[in-house]
Amino acid sequence: MGLLKKKHEKHSHPTFKGFLTAVLATIAAIFLLLLAGLSLAGTAVAFIAIMPLFIVFSPVLVPAGITTGLLAMGLAASGGSGLTALSIMSWLKKLAVKELPKILGQTLVTGSPGGHESH
């Protein structure tokens, strides 16, 4: 067996455009990370400040929250049931009134099989 020669690969140097893109992406990532941290800190401060109100008004807020949750579940269930009923009725209508396929240039003649109608 002979010796295999490695091909020398060209190593391209980073372009200015690629470098600028990396720098701008890093700056944007840092900015968004700082914004997320600031939002988290603000939420924590607001939670700590409002906590006494939650404790004082909990006899009102807990039943109100339960009632709101039950109301939302009831509305979602009734909407789903109504949509199901509409789809079933639509399916039954299509089943009961089967439309014959329409052929271009021909008309459908209805009546007795012999073509004579009795009076």
Q: What percent of the chain lies above the pLDDT cut of 70? A: 74
**pTM exceeding the 0.85 threshold for the entire prediction:** no
User: What's the pLDDT tens digit per position in 6-41?
Assistant: 555 666 788 999 999 999 999 999 999 999 999 999
pLDDT of residue 52 exceeding 80, the answer is yes
Which residues lie below 8 Å from residue 61, measured CB to CB, with a gap of 6+? 54
Q: For 41-61, what is the mean pLDDT? A: 91
pLDDT, averaged across the chain: 84
User: Assign residue 105 a region: left if phi > 0, alpha if psi is -120 to 50, beta otherwise?
Assistant: left
One-letter amino acid at 110 equals T
Count of CA atoms in the C-beta half-sphere (13 A) of 115:
1
Q: List the structure tokens of 18.
A: 């690629």
